[in-house]
Amino acid sequence: MDQKNSQAVSKNEEITLIQIVTEVKKYWSYLLSKWLFILIFGLVGGGLGLVASLMSKPTYTAHLSFALVEKSSGGGLADLASSFGFGGLAGGSNGAFSGDNLLEIIQSRYAMEKTLLTPVNYKGKTQNLVEVYIGFTNMREGWLKNKMNQELQQLSYPIGQKRETFTRTQDSVLFSIYQGIYNSKSLAVARKDKKISVVNVDFRSPDELFSKIFVETLMDQTYTFYRETKTSQSRANINMMQHTADSIKGLYESALYKGAGISQVNINPALQFAAVPKIKQENNAQLYGTVYAEVLKNLETLKLDMARETPIVQLIDSPRFPLKMDRLGKAKGIAIGGILGGFLIVVYLLGSILIKDKLKGLKID
C-alpha cells in the first residue's frame, strides 16, 4: 500500500515539474515574441534616465572627523566641595554623554536647530544659517504661492530673535527643515570602528558652501553644549566659592579699616581698656585674612579640577574645498533608466498573460 502511494506521489511531482517547465517555456517564448516592444521601452527608459542625469543637481558632502578626549575629574573636587557644604553639586555628569550618546546629540533636534539659528557669513552677507537653507532650496517661492497663510509669505528668521518669541509658523518651518535633513539621511554620524574613539560626521546638500558651514557650525554647537553640560556642576561650585571669597574679602577689608581708625585715637595709658576694640579688630582682620587666603587656594583648586574635567574634542579632518561631489552620470542614468524601463514592461507583459490564462481557466470551469 505504501509503495503504491509513493509511486503516485512521485508521478504527481514529475507531472508538476513538467508543467512548470512547460509554463516557463511558454512565457519565455511569449517574451521573445515581444522583444521589439521590450527594446523600445528599454530605450525610452534609457532616454528618460539621460534626461534625469542632465537635470539632476550635484550634491556636495562635507566630511569632518574628531576624537573625543575625556578627562576624569580629580578626587579633590568632591572632598573640597563637601567640606564647604556643596557635596550635592560635586562631580561631573558622565553617564548622559558617555559612549555613543554623543553621536545622538549631534543628530538631535536641539543641536540642528541651534545650528540653523546661528549667524554665519555666507557669500559676504551675515544671516542665520536657516535663511541660507531656505534660499538655495527655493522654499520661499512656494510660500509666496500660498495665499492662505500671509505670515508664511513674509516669514524670516532675524539675527538675535529670542527663541521664546518665535511664532507657531516659525517653529513649524524650522521643525520641518530639521525633519527633512534627518529623514533624508543628509547627515550621517558614525564611528568607523567601535574600538576606536574617532567619530565621522558627513553632511550632504546641493550647496557646497552650505555643506561646509553647516557641519562646522554643528560641531561647534554640539561641543559647546557638551562642554557646558559636563562642567555645569563644577561651575556652580566655583561660583559659590567665589561668592564666599568675595564675602570674606569684604569682612577682611572692613576689619582693616576699622582697626586703622581705632589706631589713630589718642589712647590714655591710664585707660588700658580703651585698647580692647583695637585688639579685637586686629584679631578679626588676622582671622579674615587667614580664611580668605584659604578660600582663594581652594577656589584655584576647584578651577584646576574643572579644567581637568573639561573634555577636549580633537579635530582630525575638517572640510576643505573642493568638497566631494556626487552626481547621476549620463552612463549611469541611461543604464538605470533602460533596466528599469525593460523590467517594468516585462512585469506588465507577464502580468497581462497570467491574467488572461486565469480568465480562460475560469470560463472553462
Interval 172-208: pLDDT, tens: 999 999 999 999 999 999 987 777 778 999 999 999 9
pLDDT computed for residue 85 by the predictor: 43
Q: Mind giving me the DSSP string for 329-363?
A: -HHHHHHHHHHHHHHHHHHHHHHHHHHHHHHHHHH
CATH of the domain at 125: 3.30.1890
Q: Sort 190 into a burial class: Cβ within 10 Å, 0-12 / 13-18 / 19+.
A: exposed
pLDDT computed for residue 275 by the predictor: 57
Residues 298 and 337 in one domain: no
Backbone angles phi, psi at 239, to 5 degrees: -65, -40
| 106 has pLDDT over 90 | yes
Backbone angles phi, psi at 127, to 5 degrees: -160, 165
Higher pLDDT, 26 or 326: 326
Residues 102 and 140 in one domain: yes
The three three-digit cell numbers of residue 336, written as one number:
538605470
Residues 9 and 63 in one domain: no
Contacts of 51 (CB under 8 A, 6+ apart): 333
| Length of the chain (residues) | 365
| 118 has pLDDT over 90 | yes
Q: What is the mean pLDDT of the chain?
A: 81
Question: What domain count does the chain have?
Answer: 3
Residue carrying the nine cell digits 567601535: 194
pLDDT computed for residue 76 by the predictor: 45
Domain span at residue 158 reads 59-231+312-326
- Local confidence band at 74 (pLDDT 50, 70, 90 cut-offs): very low
pTM above 0.75, yes or no: no
- Picking from 37-51, 132-146, 209-223, 251-265, which range would have the lowest pLDDT averaged per residue? 251-265
- Local confidence band at 166 (pLDDT 50, 70, 90 cut-offs): very high
Measured distance CA(148)–CA(141) in Å, rounded = 15
